[in-house]
Amino acid sequence: MENQIMKLAEILKNSQNIVFFGGAGVSTASNIPDFRSSNGIFSKKLNRNISPEQAVSHSFLMMHPDEFYDFYKKNLIYPDAKPNDCHYALAKLEEMGKLKAVVTQNIDGLHQMAGSKTVYELHGTVHKNYCTNCGKNFDADYVLAADGEPICDVCGGKVRPDVVLYEEGLDQNVIQNAVKAISAADTLIIGGTSLVVYPAASLVYYFKGKHLVLINKSATQADSSADLLIQDDIAKVMRQAVEAMEA
């Protein structure tokens, strides 16, 4: 493992345009579990268990808003979560001028909390919510404090999270920015993702640079394409690699 860390440190040292593409595994060290680890919820109105994917779908929000928010608040918002060593290592690389962008599938906002400036959130963020009627913005605390579906305190309209739900399309501006960043990168680090969630996972195919680094505890479909494959905890790996690079 030490040899792999040193190799990653060398890649980081010699790269000038790094992009990081991350998934749920980046946040597990911050005690945020992958919501798919849930076994589903019991829907009183449907009288059956439903999958996490169904629970955070557009149609479930529309038809069963109170049950949607019950699952959403318990499984997707973690107000006490703090950035971990991976988040801080990436912010450090950006501060050094090496990392140009973070492209994330996560919705927890921890990259920004750690200090990263250029973050493309493919699936939105729990920290932004808006009234579907008048457009007023609300933070996560407002949603957490609501009893059932949150209602706008100005017009009485329904407030929904600025998160891409199942059955909804990704924001095209975010996708375009992510594609532009990945296409221009000399090094792409893929971390904490199994690369099974599409269309987000397809963005990695735009990478034409020199080094493809893959850091994930389990195998992915891109393992054979990686110049460097590290199957270990990403928070530990990134911290050690950045420290070794600076030594």
Do 152 and 222 have their domain in common? no
Signed CA dihedral, 9, 15, 16, 22: sign only: negative
Q: What are phi and psi of 130, to 5 degrees?
A: -150, 150
239 and 155 in one domain? no
Contact 131, 159 (CB under 8 A): yes
CB 119 within 8 A of CB 105: no
Task: Let me know whether 107 and 216 are in one domain.
Answer: yes
DSSP β-bridge partners for residue 20? 102, 189
Domain co-membership, 173 together with 237: yes
pLDDT value, residue 196: 80
Residue 56, domain extent: 35-75
Contact 158, 65 (CB under 8 A): yes
Instruction: Evaluate whether 195 touches 201 at the Cβ level (below 8 Å).
Output: yes
Kindly report, residue by residue over 47-88, the tens digit of the pLDDT.
778 888 899 999 999 999 999 999 999 999 999 999 999 999
Domain check: are 40 and 90 in the same one?
Answer: no
Both 45 and 149 in one domain: the answer is no
Q: Print pLDDT tens along the chain (247 aa).
A: 689 999 999 999 999 999 999 999 999 999 998 766 666 667 677 677 888 889 999 999 999 999 999 999 999 999 999 999 999 999 999 999 999 999 999 999 999 999 999 999 999 999 999 999 999 999 999 999 999 999 999 999 999 999 999 999 999 999 999 999 999 999 999 999 988 878 878 999 999 999 999 999 888 888 889 999 999 999 999 999 999 998 7
**Co-location of 237 and 189 in the same domain:** yes
Catalytic position from the list 64, 87, 123, 211: 123
58 and 9 co-located in one domain: no
Would you state the pLDDT for residue 5?
96
Residue 42: predicted pLDDT: 73
Cα 226 from Cα 94, distance rounded (Å): 22
Mark which of 134, 163, 192 sits at the end of a domain.
Answer: 163
Global confidence as pTM: 0.93
Catalytic annotation present for 123: yes
Q: Mind listing the pLDDT tens digit for each residue in 133-160?
A: 999 999 999 999 999 999 999 999 999 9
User: Domain check: are 49 and 146 in the same one?
Assistant: no
Last residue of a domain, one of 111, 144, 163: 163
The CATH number for 12's domain is: 3.40.50.1220
Instruction: Say whether both 177 and 236 belong to one domain.
Output: yes
